[in-house]
């Protein structure tokens, strides 16, 4: 009985890893890598419009269209990952895999004065509450919910 349970867990782990590999092959990055590309910048504390204009283009969010709104979190990835250890709360889409924490951020809002390839953003830097959806084992951030 214990052997069957162990084999079942190993099969589940293998299928999970295969699924993550397929996501990476199809999209070129895992959801965790995409989250980091779109939302993590531990090097800077961007508080200027130039920061947003530069980062949005550098991180690939102005190709084909200007992403309307994006938040960059200015904490190290370990601090952000630790938010996933906070108690579960309900996400906007109704699932229960969200967690909240307070971090330094820069919010970038598209001003709509320009269209690709020259997107223009306005920056707001602050320390505020964020809600992050976390998945996998161990839990890692995959979506910024607020």
Neighbours of 127 (CB within 10 A): 9
| pLDDT tops 80 at residue 3 | no
Q: How far apart are CA 23 and CA 28, in angstroms?
A: 8
Tell me the average pLDDT across 80-102: 97
Tell me the average pLDDT across 107-122: 87
Closest residue by Cα to residue 72 from 41, 103, 99: 41
**Whole-number pLDDT of residue 139:** 97
Catalytic residue, from 39, 74, 99, 110: name it: 39
pLDDT tens-digit map of 89-98: 999 999 999 9
| pLDDT tops 50 at residue 105 | yes
**Topology of 39-144 in CATH?**
P-30 Protein (3.10.130)
Is 74 considered catalytic here?
A: no
Q: How far apart are CA 60 and CA 46, in angstroms?
A: 17
Q: Where are the domains of the chain?
A: 39-144
pLDDT tens-digit map of 9-40: 444 444 444 444 444 545 599 999 999 999 99
Catalytic residue, from 74, 99, 110, 143: name it: 143
The length of the chain, given as a count of residues: 146
Tell me the average pLDDT across 71-98: 97
Say whether 127 sits in a helix, a strand or coil.
strand
| pLDDT tops 70 at residue 142 | yes
Q: Which residue has the tokens 């992050």?
A: 132
**Whole-number pLDDT of residue 55:** 97
| pLDDT tops 70 at residue 136 | yes
Q: Which residue has the tokens 């349970």?
A: 5
Is 143 considered catalytic here?
A: yes
């Amino acid at each position: 009985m214990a052997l069957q349970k162990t084999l079942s867990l190993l099969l589940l782990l293998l299928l999970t890893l295969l699924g993550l590999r397929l996501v990476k092959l199809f999209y070129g990055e895992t959801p965790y890598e995409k989250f980091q590309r779109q939302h993590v910048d531990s090097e800077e504390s961007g508080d200027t419009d130039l920061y947003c204009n530069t980062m949005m283009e550098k991180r690939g969010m102005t190709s084909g269209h200007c992403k309307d709104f994006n938040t960059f979190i200015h904490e190290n990835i370990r601090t952000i990952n630790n938010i996933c250890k906070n108690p579960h709360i309900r996400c906007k889409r109704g699932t229960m895999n969200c967690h909240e924490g307070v971090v330094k951020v820069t919010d970038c809002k598209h001003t709509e004065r320009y269209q690709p390839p020259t997107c223009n953003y306005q920056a707001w830097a602050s320390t505020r509450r964020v809600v992050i959806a976390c998945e996998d084992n161990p839990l890692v951030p995959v979506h910024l919910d607020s």
